Amino acid sequence: MKVVVTGAKGQLGTDLVHLLSDRGYAVYGYRREELDITNFDQVKQVISEVNPDVVIHAAAYTKVDLAESEPDQAFSINAYGTRNVAIVSETVGAKLVYISTDYVFDGTANVPYHEFAPTNPLSVYGKSKLAGEQFVRDLHSKFFIVRTSWVYGKHGNNFVKTMLKLAQERDELMVVHDQVGCPTYTVDLANCILELVQTERYGIYHVSNSGYCSWYEFAKAIFEEAGIKVKVNPCTTKDFPRPAPRPAYSVFDHMALRLNGFKAMSNWRDSLRVFLGKL
């Protein structure tokens, strides 16, 4: 089976390329320098030449705060770039996986979001990713839209690495406690995506590790599991104003995984322990 991975040098893309290669797939991973998804002709040429069975579209504009002042950039990549990938993937008959985000929700719920819950993104980033979802739904017939959240892994920058770095510089930290969500380990996410593409159970999926926590609780768990002594103090989102609004509550219900017979995702704390053990 031939698989194209866009955003192959990102933290998820890198793990996907490694996992698929280890499992014997013919993997064609493209960095931004090798495949500009906003260039339709280039997308058409590259994907048509490979003629893959599956396209995993992990490339994205992910600078959440910068997107507020660069909406054209965000929509060019996340919406129209995704449109280009969707059209060409459909033309060559490839299954398409589009990586989306918890930012498509406004965070006003008080029960976990399932895949049929109404979306209402607050930020430019969230709106641009939802526009990408819409293009996938409109232009492709065999798709998996995979919404994920609070992603961390070995490659690239993420919250876990930031906390570990700050712990070397300070003995006391402030972390927001009024944003609640689901941490997701890239290796678990990649494994779930691999399971999905081996089926024809198309649709939208919420894929995160199970359970949930606040950023404050996540930080405390990181230091506990790593055996690092740091004082972590809770603070509010208002104490740390950022250009882009975040959903205060973006806990996922994995309804689609459950109803389509996929195995449950491991608990976030267990996966954090595994990650720190490998790190």
Q: Contact 154/279 with Cβ under 8 angstroms?
A: yes
In a domain, 217, yes or no: no
In a domain, 135, yes or no: yes
Distance CA 220, CA 151 (A): 17
DSSP 150: S
Q: Tell me the residue ranges of DSSP E strands in the chain.
A: 2-6, 26-30, 54-57, 95-101, 143-148, 151-152, 172-176, 180-181, 184-185, 203-206, 213-214, 231-235
Q: What angle do CA 164, 165, 167 make, to 5 degrees?
A: 65
In a domain, 31, yes or no: yes
Mean pLDDT by 10 residues, the chain (279 residues): 97 98 98 97 98 98 98 98 98 98 98 98 98 98 98 96 96 96 98 98 98 98 97 96 96 98 98 96
Q: CB under 8 Å to 131, separation ≥6 — which residues?
A: 75, 78, 79, 82
β-bridge mates for residue 95, sequence order: 54
User: 100, exposed or middle or buried, with CB in 10 Å at 0-12, 13-18, 19+?
Assistant: buried
In a domain, 198, yes or no: yes
β-bridge mates for residue 97, sequence order: 56, 144
113 in catalytic set: no
User: 241, exposed or middle or buried, with CB in 10 Å at 0-12, 13-18, 19+?
Assistant: exposed
β-bridge mates for residue 26, sequence order: 2
In a domain, 197, yes or no: yes
* Residue 131: CATH number of its domain: 3.40.50.720
The active-site residue, picked from 125, 185, 216, 249, is: 125
Looking at residue 149, what is its pLDDT? 98
Give the Å distances, CA to CA, from 35 to 18, 21, 41, 247. 19, 20, 10, 31
Domain that holds residue 63: 2-158+183-209+252-265
Q: State the total domains in the chain.
A: 1
Looking at residue 225, what is its pLDDT? 97
Q: CB under 8 Å to 52, separation ≥6 — which residues?
A: 2, 3, 4, 28, 92, 94
In a domain, 118, yes or no: yes
In a domain, 216, yes or no: no
**Token pair 């590790």 in the structure block, residue:** 209
Q: How many CA atoms lie within 13 A of 53 on its CB side?
A: 10
In a domain, 178, yes or no: no
Give the Å distances, CA to CA, from 211 to 11, 179, 180, 231, 236. 22, 14, 11, 24, 22
